[in-house]
A and B are shown apart, each in its own frame.
Chain A
Amino acid sequence: MPLDRMDHLSDDALLAAYAAGDQAAARTLTLRLTPRVFAHAMRLLGDRAEAEDVTQDALMRLWKVAPNWQAGTAKPSTWLFTVTANLCTDRLRRKGRQGVDIDAIPEPEDDAPRAEHVLQEQARIAALESALQSLPDGQRQAVVLRHIEGLGNPEIAEIMDISVRAVESLTARGKRALAAALAEKREALGYDHDG
């Protein structure tokens, strides 16, 4: 089946087509899922090379289970987020968490308004990523899934294998910790101006 005719298919349907040997389904799934997995791994690990390894590993596991996938039991994307988070957690534990120096974040230097805006956005992203890395694993994962990936609490609970109430608690504590870390950079990051 041509790629453009597969775009409207659900992940479940694509996975079934993949398992039946449809190469177009393999390409569509790769294009659809790889960016999401990589972005999530990148936010959890903060390291591009490691995030790439985790992405390849997580998707490898999806290809492996595809022939036995039970359609309708779980969304492939939810399953992938779970696998990705577990792989990231394993890596973080193996190498040990490294401290984050939030003061090392570059501050905007260019006076041109447009360039300043771009630099300010980049500084905010860098500050958020650094602050995220300072959170405990569970809080970081819950905050990323909720506020950056945009998932609902029930899906996050399924991914993290905890209750919805626990997700709410982790998210709230994570946001408090983030706010505390970012408050120190408030002037440099300019959120007093256009937030």
Chain B
Amino acid sequence: MTDKRKHKPTPDGPGDLSNPSAQALDVDLDIFFDAARSAQPEPSPELMARVLDDALAMQPPAQPLAARPAPSVPTRSWLGTLLDTLGGWPAAASLATATLAGVWIGISPPDAVSAVTAQLGLAAEAAIALPDGEELITTYLDEG
């Protein structure tokens, strides 16, 4: 971690130790740092007590469980649930449009629809006579 700044010999010899910078390079700082690390200044018990007093005095009060906000559970309205079932707003809009169109065609059928129903012999006022249930069953049994 620390550099060992030993004096580096030069080709001319060990260097001029009368030069302050050369002397500085000859000092191994590690022994000083090691000594300092091994003798870390310790805080007094009084200081520890003062710091703890501060900590407790400035500490926010403990929150009881009942006071803590309950985790919010997402709720859905009936409309939201219905929309989810149908597939969202676009699907609901399409369904509403189709429903309105059907109702409108029923109330006021366009000419094209009237022509088709006329060709099929289904006049708007004509009633289709259906055989009653007993007749249907007899016919079915007779035909096998």
A85 to B98, CA, bound (A): 75
A-B contact count, CB below 8 Å?
A: 134
B residues near A34, Cβ cutoff 8 Å:
43, 47-48, 51
Contact of B54 among A22, A56, A175, A194 (CB under 8 A): A56
Residues of the B chain whose Cβ atoms lie less than 8 Å from the Cβ of A124:
31-32, 35-36
In the complex, B33 has a CB within 8 A of chain A: yes
**In the complex, A26 has a CB within 8 A of chain B:** yes
Whether A180 and B41, one on each chain, are in contact in the complex, defined by CB atoms closer than 8 angstroms, is no
State in angstroms the CA–CA spacing of A100 and B47 once bound together: 27
Stretch at the interface among A5-13, A57-65, A70-78: A57-65
Q: For A178, what are the chain B residues with a Cβ–Cβ distance below 8 Å?
A: 27, 29, 32
**Interface presence of B77 (CB below 8 A):** no
CB-defined contacts of A67 to chain B, threshold 8 Å: 60
| Beta-carbon contact of A125 and B36 below 8 Å | yes
Interface residues of B, count at CB 8 A: 41
Q: Is the interface of A mostly helix, strand, loop or mixed?
A: helix
> A142 at the A/B interface (Cβ < 8 Å)?
no
Cα distance A90–B2 in the bound complex, in angstroms: 29
Q: Report how far A121 CA is from B38 CA in the complex, Å.
A: 9
- 1/0 contact string of A31-48 vs chain B (CB within 8 Å): 100110011001100001
Instruction: Using known A-B contacts A147-B2, A175-B5, A179-B24, determine if residue A20 contacts B60 with beta carbons closer than 8 Å.
Output: yes
Q: How far is it, in angstroms, between the C-alpha of A195 and the C-alpha of B44 when the chains are bound? A: 32
Query: Which A residues from 94 to 132 make CB contacts under 8 A with B?
Result: 121-122, 124-125, 127-129
Q: In the complex, A76→B52 CA distance in Å?
A: 17
Residues of B within 8 A of A51 (CB): 41
Given A21-B60, A63-B55, A67-B60; A121-B35 close (CB under 8 Å): yes
A182–B20 alpha-carbon span in the complex (Å): 11
Question: Chain A CB within 10 Å — which of B21, B23, B25, B47 has the most?
Answer: B47
Q: Mark B26-69, 1 if CB is under 8 A from A, else 0.
A: 11111111011111111110011011101110111111000000
For B30, the chain A residues whose CB sits under 8 A away are 195
Chain A neighbourhood of B35, CB < 8 A:
121, 124-125, 128
**B43's contact among A26, A38, A175, by CB below 8 Å, is which?**
A38
Q: Indicate whether B134 reaches chain A with its CB closer than 8 angstroms.
A: no
Determine the residue in chain A with the shortest Cβ distance to B49. Answer: A30
- Given A30-B52, A56-B51, A180-B24, decide whether A38 and B32 contact each other with a Cβ distance below 8 A: no
Q: Can you list 12 residue pairs at the A/B interface with Cβ under 8 Å? A: A26-B52, A26-B56, A30-B48, A30-B51, A31-B48, A34-B43, A38-B43, A43-B41, A59-B51, A121-B39, A176-B21, A180-B23
